[in-house]
Amino acid sequence: MFLNELTQREEEGRPIQVGIIGAGKFGGGLCTQISQMKGMRVALVADLDEEVARRGYTANGFETNSIRKTVTETEVCDAIRAGAPAITSDATLVCQSELIDVVVDTTGSPQAGAVLGISAISHGKHLIMVNVEADVCIGPYLRRLADEKGVVYSLVDGDQPGCIMNMVNWARALGFEIVAAGRGTIYQDGDFEGTPETVPERFGFSEEMMERRHVNLRMFNSFRDGTKAQTEMTALANAAGLVPDIRGMHEPSVNLEDIPKKFSLKTEGGLLSQHGVVELANSIEADGKTSLSNPLNMGVFVVIRAEHPHIQEDLVSYFVHAGGNGYNYLLYRPYHLVAVEAPMSIASAVFRGEATGLTLPNPTAELITVAKRDLSKGEMLDGGGGYTVNGLCEKADIARNQNLLPLAFASNVRLKQDINKLSPITYDMVEIDENSELLKLRRKQDALVWGE
């Protein structure tokens, strides 16, 4: 896919110029993958830590003295024209440079994603949004802006929402109904309450690996405590037009062969009250400690509906797992390759003008905030992956009607009252900064979506 187009770009000496914001594990991995490709190059890497940005190049054979530190747009353009690797601590330069074709945001910060996303789109750049934390907050606004500017706003291939969207689009193109779509998880007892300093022990990370790959413990804790999976499924829901069946989804412990059975209607022996949902398939036994015998692990899946007997016969003959009284069938990938596949979204935006996953103008789901533990009046909330709160996927209209606080606004805000563990938090329960740029953008989006 895209091999001919990339080869032609390479032969013509005009590779796709990519700007990457954030050079941590994902950003650094993307630098490495692009370094192996023809027709695409990393033109500029932005990170608040210039040494981390520099390692995005040195890890791939670039000499330190060949890397240009840039502080102005002119310096960026000079470096790109010279074919020299460039770094900066000013992410706005990535968005503004006239010679950069595609901006990739890997920061994981809703605030940064809002400001930088608008800047990139306004300057005519395609925007690949690895930052699902921003997407679930103001993705519909950014998508509308991208449509106006004639550029692509996209989730990223390789990350679970993008991988699942590829499967969803394939299935829908063939006329299948989507019963459920989602990803695997590996949550154990106590993970919901996990904190950043316990991440290395839980995942077996060594100090050497954390240093070399610039592991963000808070980000990885959001994987551990469930917030990241909830965030990703909210992003998927908003791109595919799906909803969570219940708040936080069902997330049963299931082997592969049981997924199409569990994710069927209750009347068919499953868990669901409706079709068209996002879900999670946990790979840990119900005891919360041991792995299942044939789990999905960190793979992705779609449960499709096939009612024609000929198609059912074909699917069964190819050993596709069935459920839902023989009408539901499991499609899955046992892996997702994160930064390895991400360049496919860059190429798709440039060559086809298409998004891997495009957030709908009107969201169907919201990432709401719940208390990770009992919280006291006056405590400061510290956002996803921290010590105080978790995110859960909820239907957008329910979140709106109950005034539930999006997780993006649950950082550095003070509680006005005590909150019990697992209880949802509303806008009224926190002292929110009314001058926040993110809040202003979100209110613009709400006015567009809800007509208020």
Residue 230 maps to a domain = no
CATH number, residue 131? 3.40.50.720
The pLDDT of residue 24 is 92
Q: How far apart are CA 258 and CA 18, in angstroms?
A: 42
Residue of 72 and 213 predicted with greater confidence: 72
The pLDDT of residue 220 is 85
Residue 383 maps to a domain = yes
pTM: 0.96
Hunting for tokens 């074919």 — which residue is that?
A: 83
Residues 182 and 204 in one domain: no
Token pair listed for 380: 């400061």
- The residues near 175 (Cβ < 8 Å, ≥ 6 apart) are none
Of 352, 380, 407, which marks where a domain is finished?
A: 352
The pLDDT of residue 203 is 76
Q: Determine contact, residues 393/234, Cβ cutoff 8 Å.
A: yes
Q: How far apart are CA 429 and CA 388, in angstroms?
A: 14
Across residues 391-398, what is the average pLDDT? 98
Across residues 307-333, what is the average pLDDT? 97
Return mean pLDDT, the chain. 96
pLDDT tens digits for range 2-32 = 999 999 999 999 999 999 999 999 999 999 9
Residue 359 maps to a domain = no
Residue 440 maps to a domain = yes
Q: How many CB atoms lie within 10 A of CB 61?
A: 7
Residues 20 and 126 in one domain: yes
Q: How far apart are CA 110 and CA 199, in angstroms?
A: 22
Residues 149 and 208 in one domain: no
Q: Determine contact, residues 181/303, Cβ cutoff 8 Å.
A: yes
Of 352, 385, 400, which marks where a domain is finished?
A: 352
- The residues near 390 (Cβ < 8 Å, ≥ 6 apart) are 192, 225, 226, 227, 230, 369, 370, 371, 372, 384
Q: Determine contact, residues 159/336, Cβ cutoff 8 Å.
A: yes
Residue 120 maps to a domain = yes
Residue 304 maps to a domain = yes
Q: How many CB atoms lie within 10 A of CB 316?
A: 14
Q: How far apart are CA 260 and CA 257, in angstroms?
A: 7
Given pLDDT bands bounded at 50, 70 and 90, which one contains residue 452? low
Question: 438: domain range?
Answer: 365-450
Residues 141 and 210 in one domain: no
Consecutive H or E run containing 282:
strand 277-282
User: Domain count of the chain?
Assistant: 4
Of 289, 318, 352, which marks where a domain is finished?
A: 352
Residues 117 and 55 in one domain: yes
Consecutive H or E run containing 81:
helix 73-82
Residue 358 maps to a domain = no
Residue 296 maps to a domain = yes
Residues 124 and 246 in one domain: no
Token pair listed for 329: 């069938």
pLDDT tens digits for range 395-445 = 999 999 999 999 999 999 999 999 999 999 999 999 999 999 999 999 999
Lowest mean pLDDT segment, chosen from 102-106, 218-222, 333-337, 364-368: 218-222
Lowest mean pLDDT segment, chosen from 43-47, 91-95, 262-266, 285-289: 285-289
Q: Determine contact, residues 318/289, Cβ cutoff 8 Å.
A: no
Give the CA angle between residues 285, 217, 416 to the nearest 5°. Answer: 90
Residues 252 and 371 in one domain: no
Q: Determine contact, residues 208/322, Cβ cutoff 8 Å.
A: no
Across residues 160-171, what is the average pLDDT? 98
pLDDT tens digits for range 140-151 = 999 999 999 999
Q: How far apart are CA 260 and CA 301, in angstroms?
A: 10
Residues 288 and 174 in one domain: yes
Residues 347 and 427 in one domain: no
Q: How far is CA 424 from CA 152, 230, 249, 307, 428, in A?
A: 34, 15, 15, 40, 11
Backbone angles phi, psi at 386, to 5 degrees: -100, -140
* Cα of 33 vs its chain's centroid, Å: 19
Output helix, strand, coil percentages for the chain, rounded to the nearest 5. Answer: 40, 20, 35
Find, among 179, 172, 168, the residue nearest to 329 by Cα. 179
Phi-psi region of 190 (alpha: psi -120 to 50; beta: other; left: phi over 0): left
The pLDDT of residue 199 is 80
Residues 42 and 129 in one domain: yes
Residues 106 and 128 in one domain: yes
CATH number, residue 443? 3.90.1210.10
Beta-strand relationship, 411-415 and 380-382: antiparallel
Residues 302 and 400 in one domain: no
pLDDT tens digits for range 325-345 = 999 999 999 999 999 999 999
State the burial class of residue 107 (Cβ atoms within 10 Å of its Cβ: 0-12, 13-18, 19+).
buried
Across residues 293-309, what is the average pLDDT? 97
pLDDT tens digits for range 208-247 = 877 777 778 888 899 899 999 999 999 999 999 999 999 9
Hunting for tokens 């050079």 — which residue is that?
A: 23
State the burial class of residue 331 (Cβ atoms within 10 Å of its Cβ: 0-12, 13-18, 19+).
buried
Sheet strands side by side (includes 16-21): 68-69, 86-88, 40-46, 16-21, 102-105, 126-129, 153-154
